[in-house]
Each structure stands twice: as structure tokens, then as C-alpha cells.
Amino acid sequence: MSASDTKLLVTGARGFIGRAALLALAKQYGGASIHAVRKTNNGPVPLIPGVTWHTNDLLEKGSAEKLIEKIQPTHCLHAAWEARPPHFWTSPENEKWLAASIALAEAFAKTGGKRFISLGSVAEYENTSGRMIENVTPEAPSTLYGQCKRAFHRHLATISKDTGVLTSIGRIFYVYGPFEFETKLVASACRAIALNEPVAFGPLDLWRDYIHVNDLGRAIAILMESSLEGVVNLATGEPVRQSRLIETLANLSHCGDLFHIGARPTQPHEPPILFADTQKIRSIGWRPEISLEDGLQSTLKWWRAQLRHAA
């Protein structure tokens, strides 16, 4: 299918991950008709040439079907979901998003859609394992968020089998970069540096698989253009100790005295190490391009600029 025949729909396009994916997809599909969805029309949107913005609350009954009928997309990236920390783990909004996502995917299939990608989460896996491998590591989510994501992705597999729509689940691990929620680890550290305010952390002795959001956006775009089906881990495959993230930011900013590591209690039941097997995503030519130090430096620069403009 040529770019001129492609009509791409991106939900959650104003979110932390959605906007990075939208930019990467716009580069990947130059000349295609690209449609981006936001929930409300307040606030700015990324100004990307060739992208048409739509305001649509997918949680409203019938909204997903009307959106699909209006746009008639050939490709869809479904990035919208409840993601505000920390309550998204247990929020009843997850069940609403499960129903809305099923409606979206079914409407997409009925109108002849070709390629549908949903963004999943490491939270869908059983979290006692260190290295997570697609179709090998058990799926045993312990949170409502993970359970609803998994339920949708199982339904998506059924839609694919019944209709022939080519579907993939981009399973995301740990992400940092511009527009991240300010309570997350890297964002909270960058914010503290920009405001010259102290911040308390837990022991930071866990190993996790962190990826810069722009590298993730490229992975999503490459996955969209590929013929890979089923679950595909989207991560670097290289675990890093969380304390290294903060130590790197301290070295870059010379503000290490702001960070109080170990001042907060350890989160219970957290496995010591979680990281992705990335053979599938690497098999189609993707590699991370942004080093940890470069990614943290650019993220810190973004936070400083944002807070300087807000002052």
C-alpha cells in the first residue's frame, strides 16, 4: 500500500507517548493522510505538517464507531488509555477503556481497516521474571490496569483471526523524556533541578529497562510498517539501576545535593529486575539511537525550558 493510499489514525496523540509516536509516524508515512485524536480541545497540540486533529471522547458511547466511520482509516495506532499516575493502576476508568477499545477495534475491522497496533504494558506480564520474552513469559497481571490491557489484547487477537486485520501489541516497559508526568522518577528529578528544590526518593536499587520516548516513537512507527503480529516488546533490552539515572542527572546538573535517595520507603512486592527481550523489534531493523546520558541531558534541558517559560 502506497503512502497516498494510507489513512492513519492515532488515538491519545497528545499524550506523553502518543505525541512522540505521532511525530515518528508522520516522518515514516510522508504523504499519507494522518488523523490525530485528542479528548478535549483545550490546550495546544503538536503542530505537525500533514496531521489533521480531531476532538473526540472515546469513552462516550458510540464515539469510537462514529470516529472510525468518519475517517475510514486503513491503519490505526491506539495509544489512548488512562495513564495518570498513580491511580491508573486501580482506576475504574480501565474498564471503560477496555470497552471503548473493543468498540474502536471492531469498528476498524468492519470498515476494512488493514493494520491495527495497540500500546500494551509490561504490567501485562507476570512480574517475578527478570527477562520478559514474548509468548514465553507468563501473562499474569496483578493490577486492574494490566488485566484490562491484557483482556483487550486477547480480544484484539480474536478480531485479527476472524477478520484478517493485521494486529500487533507494542508492549512498553519504562519510558522517560519530555512531557512525562512530573511525579515519575526522571521527571521528578529534572523538575527538582529546574526549580532548585529538594526531592526524596526510595532506595533506587531496582533494575529496569528504560527507553527515551523518541526512540520508542521510532519503534512504534517501524512496527506499524512491518508485518509483525502479536506481542512485540518495545524497550532497549538493557536494564539499568534506577540510582544510575539519578546519579547521571546529578553529574550533569551538579545538583546532587537536591536528591535524597533512600528517604522514602521501598515499594512492597517490587521484583529486583525487569527487562525486555528485544529480538522481535530488532529483527525489523530498529535499534535505540539515544544514549542514556544524551537522553537524560535533553530531558533536563526540556524541563528547564518549560519551567523557565512558566515562571
Q: For every one of its 311 residues, what pLDDT tens digit does the chain have, with 9 covering 90 and above?
A: 566 789 999 999 999 999 999 999 999 998 889 999 998 877 788 889 899 999 999 999 999 999 999 999 999 999 999 998 989 999 999 999 999 999 999 999 999 999 999 999 999 999 887 999 999 999 999 999 999 999 999 999 999 999 999 999 999 999 999 999 999 999 999 999 999 999 999 999 999 999 999 999 999 999 999 999 999 999 999 999 999 999 999 999 999 999 999 988 877 788 999 999 999 999 999 999 999 999 999 999 999 999 887 65
Residue among 153, 269, 272 at smallest CA distance from 204: 272
Is this model's pTM higher than 0.75 or not?
Answer: yes
pLDDT of 308? 84
Q: How far apart are CA 122 and CA 289, in angstroms?
A: 22
Q: Which domains does the chain have, with CATH numbers?
A: 3-174+210-234 (3.40.50.720), 181-209+239-271+291-310 (3.90.25.10)
pLDDT of 2? 60
pLDDT of 103? 98
Q: How far apart are CA 307 and CA 220, in angstroms?
A: 29
